[in-house]
Amino acid sequence: MTRPLIASLRGGFIVSCQALENEPLHGPEMMAAMASAAEAGGASAIRANTPQDIAFIKKKCKVPVIGLYKKHYPDSDVYITPTLREVSEVVRAGADIVAIDSTAMARPGNEKLERLIAGVKENFPDTPIMADISTFDEGLEAMKLGADVVSTTMSGYTPYSPQLAGPDFELIGKLAALGRAPVFAEGRIWTVEECLRCYEAGAHAVVIGTAITRPQEIVRRFVTRLKVKAQS
Ligand SMILES: CC(=O)N[C@H](C=O)[C@@H](O)[C@H](O)[C@H](O)COP(=O)(O)O
């Protein structure tokens, strides 16, 4: 059964507001301003990284917040909300939905995804789980384990998934065709036409980050295509 909050995002446009420590817009005030701008423009929800950013955004915005916490462990390549510890910080910060890496890559402490999802359900029964996956098999597995929504976030970011320049439309279509759980289209979406294609492929909602909230990458795209000479 689709949870009401997830159902309410049908046809929605979600803006991911993230700036890591090495990015010019890093900081919770900056990300809350970005989220506020996205909300003013009609975003249906915000996706945000770190408990601090989530808490600031929750104070400024009324739309739901999908929270994650990027953290690197020495024994794992999984970094999006890798363990129950990060899940609990994200939920405590006020996230309405929690996004967790649901790929087949080895998790910290070799924990199984099944156990993590069960732990989230037991400890935070009111918080829907968004499973960030990179392949069809991972999406199906996450659905079987009870993820509330599956997102194509990690396609192109695991060594075994297709390394596409644009969105993974095929993955969106195949997962949506299962009709088992809602599917979000996420990753390398830059244009309105690509969004429309995602919805046509069966996406429940579309998530855009970089094309809206990473100005340095937006500028780089223009500069690269226009072959502008950098000022030294
Ligand atoms: C792979 C990974 O770590 N993705 C992250 C997940 O939260 C973000 O860095 C992306 O910006 C987000 O998924 C949105 O995608 P795009 O920025 O391409 O619109």
Q: Determine which residue's CA is closest to atom 11 belonging to ligand 1.
A: 209
pLDDT tens for residues 133-142? 999 999 999 9
pLDDT tens for residues 204-221? 999 999 999 999 999 999
Q: Give one DSSP letter per residue of 45-103, joined into a string.
A: EEEEESHHHHHHHHHH--S-EEEE-B---TT-S--BS-SHHHHHHHHHTT-SEEEEE-S
Spatial separation of the C-alpha atoms in residues 24 and 45, rounded to whole Å: 23
pLDDT tens for residues 178-209? 999 999 999 999 999 999 999 999 999 999 99
Reply yes or no on whether the pLDDT at 229 is more than 90.
no
Query: So what's the pLDDT on residue 231?
Result: 72
Q: Which two tokens stand for residue 72?
A: 């690197």
Query: So what's the pLDDT on residue 232?
Result: 63
How many other C-beta atoms are found inside a 10 Å radius of the C-beta of residue 191?
12
Query: How far is the centre of ligand 1, averaged over its atoms, from the C-alpha of 122 (Å)?
Result: 28
Give the CA count within 13 Å in the CB-facing half-sphere of 88: 7
* pLDDT band at residue 1 using 50, 70 and 90 as cut-offs: confident
Q: Which two tokens stand for residue 133?
A: 């996956």
Shortest CA distance to 80 belongs to which of 112, 48, 121?
48
- Atom index in ligand 1 nearest the CA of residue 99 equals 7
Predicted complex: ipTM over 0.95: yes
Q: Give ligand 1 pocket residues (Cβ under 6 A).
A: 16, 18, 68, 80, 153-154, 157, 186-189, 207-211
Q: Which two tokens stand for residue 49?
A: 């990284």
Q: Which domains does the chain have, with CATH numbers?
A: 13-226 (3.20.20.70)
pLDDT tens for residues 45-79? 999 999 999 999 999 999 999 999 999 999 999 99
Query: How far is the centre of ligand 1, averaged over its atoms, from the C-alpha of 207 (Å)?
Result: 9
- Atom index in ligand 1 nearest the CA of residue 153 equals 13
Spatial separation of the C-alpha atoms in residues 184 and 207, rounded to whole Å: 7
> By the 8 A CB rule, do 3 and 128 touch?
yes
